[in-house]
Amino acid sequence: MRIGLITNMMDGQNAGIGRYTENLVKNLLLIDKENKYYLIHSNKKSYRFKGNYQEIRLPFFDSIPKKLIMGTFLFEKICRDYKLDILHDLGQISPFFFKSKTKKILTIFDLSVYKYPKIFTLLTHTYSKLLPLVVKKVEKIITISKASKKDIVKYLKVNPSKVKVSYLGVEKQFKPINNQTRLQRVKKKYQLPNKYILFVGTIEPRKNLTSLIKNDTLKNNHLVIVGKKGWLSDDIYKLPGKLGIKNKIKFIGEVIDENLPAIYNQAQVLVYPSIYEGFGLPVLEAMACGCPVVTSNISSLPEVSGKAAILVNPQNEIEISKSIEDILTQPFFRQNLIKKGFLQAKKFSWEKCAKETLKTYQEVKR
């Protein structure tokens, strides 16, 4: 088969969708020696993957508006010129409004814009209006949790048989670190406190950071927040100052991948109180590093964390506070969670994700 992958989302960010794209592409190329892949993106920088692939560069294709406006014409031409059997959009942003023999597949991560419309931008709402039309043009939809599949079926009126669930994986670099020099280097680089509660994720309303920052636990503890600035985030950055706890909160922005495991390793607990997630990758990354987890009892998070995390109502600050305190003050309880976390994280791998995705390609091509 000749398989086209739209890989723009890994060119400019290392957040969830970018991480998914990079790890899926890397593992597809490692396990699949029969098919040829065409990686379609706009970045001038060349990829350095091992495997049978060719890059297709699309200049002036580096933003969502340009993708929406020009995507239909560009992808139709690419499918024809490169005789693609399959075109898979890994970033949930491409319009497939063209006729072609090429089979189309779309990855949809979540439908948070449908469930919580007030916390999204006009651009996101504009695309959400197109999505029900886009899904009619694809042969299969891949999503990353059973919770997301349920939402796709409900909101987009899709037949359940059209939606395949393929869980994300945990990169091998996320593991316990015994090298004290490495740990201290990262601690010094980001000026981390000796003890801290951790949050990892894009700074946006959906992550429910307001409930975490307002938490009484922070009167006696530090909170380190890792992640890039997202939409509608200004109030979140201002909140510590308004509450008089600015010295307790540290926003360190985006962190390069190689330093993130050391930050998980030195945290006392990861608190991930999101009100909606398609998956929730930081939960598994923390577990793989030996960091206990408190996370929400809704959307995909119970599915991902299993029985290895404390599940809380994300809107209940008292419940969040008690769960954090239990981990901080009960060593045996903490160690038991860590052990469960290691076992849970081992259930997820990028190789498995790639194998399931390849199986979807084979089913579509028949």
Q: Which DSSP string do the residues of 256-315 spell out, in sequence order?
A: -GGGHHHHHHH-SEEEE--S--S--HHHHHHHHTT--EEEESSTTHHHHHTTSSEEE-TT
E strand or H helix at 73? helix 64-81
In one-letter notation, the amino acid at residue 227 is: G
Residue 152 pLDDT level (bands cut at 50, 70, 90): very high
Q: Which residues pair with 53 in a beta bridge?
A: 37
Write phi, then psi, for 204 (nearest 5 degrees).
-155, 160
86 and 130 part of one domain: yes
In a domain, 69, yes or no: yes
For the segment 60-105, what is each residue's pLDDT rounded down to a tens digit? 666 666 666 677 778 888 999 999 999 999 987 677 777 788 999 9
338 and 195 part of one domain: yes
In one-letter notation, the amino acid at residue 213 is: I
The answer to whether 238 and 213 have CB atoms below 8 angstroms apart is: no
In a domain, 175, yes or no: no
Highest mean pLDDT among 8-17, 43-52, 239-248, 323-332: 323-332
50 and 165 part of one domain: yes
Which DSSP state fits 194? S
Answering whether pTM is above 0.95, one says no
From 320, 270, 278, 313, select the one nearest 299 (Cα to Cα): 278
311 and 357 part of one domain: no
339 and 192 part of one domain: yes
107 and 203 part of one domain: no
What is the gyration radius of the CA atoms in the chain, in angstroms? 21
Structure tokens given for 175:
């593991």
pLDDT at 215: 84
From 222, 217, 310, select the one nearest 263 (Cα to Cα): 222
194 and 126 part of one domain: no
142 pLDDT higher than 70: yes
Residue 327 pLDDT level (bands cut at 50, 70, 90): very high
Residue 120 pLDDT level (bands cut at 50, 70, 90): low
- HSE-CB at 32 with a 13 A cutoff on CA atoms is 26
Could you give the number of structural domains in the chain? 2
112 and 22 part of one domain: yes
Q: 72-76, 119-123, 152-156: lowest mean pLDDT where? A: 119-123
**Helix pair angle (281-288, 331-345), 10° resolution:** 110
In a domain, 208, yes or no: yes
251 and 114 part of one domain: no
Bridge-based pairing of strands 163-165 and 197-200 is: unpaired
Dihedral (C-alpha) 291, 294, 296, 297: value to the nearest 10 degrees?
100
In a domain, 54, yes or no: yes
Contact partners, residue 265, CB within 8 Å, separation at least 6: 176, 177, 183, 289, 290, 291
In a domain, 60, yes or no: yes
In a domain, 58, yes or no: yes
In a domain, 360, yes or no: yes
120 and 145 part of one domain: yes
Please give the mean pLDDT across all residues of the chain. 90
Domain that holds residue 253: 180-345
CATH (domain of 63): 3.40.50.2000
112 and 13 part of one domain: yes
In a domain, 174, yes or no: no
From 190, 197, 229, 231, select the one nearest 213 (Cα to Cα): 197
Residue 13 pLDDT level (bands cut at 50, 70, 90): low
158 and 214 part of one domain: no
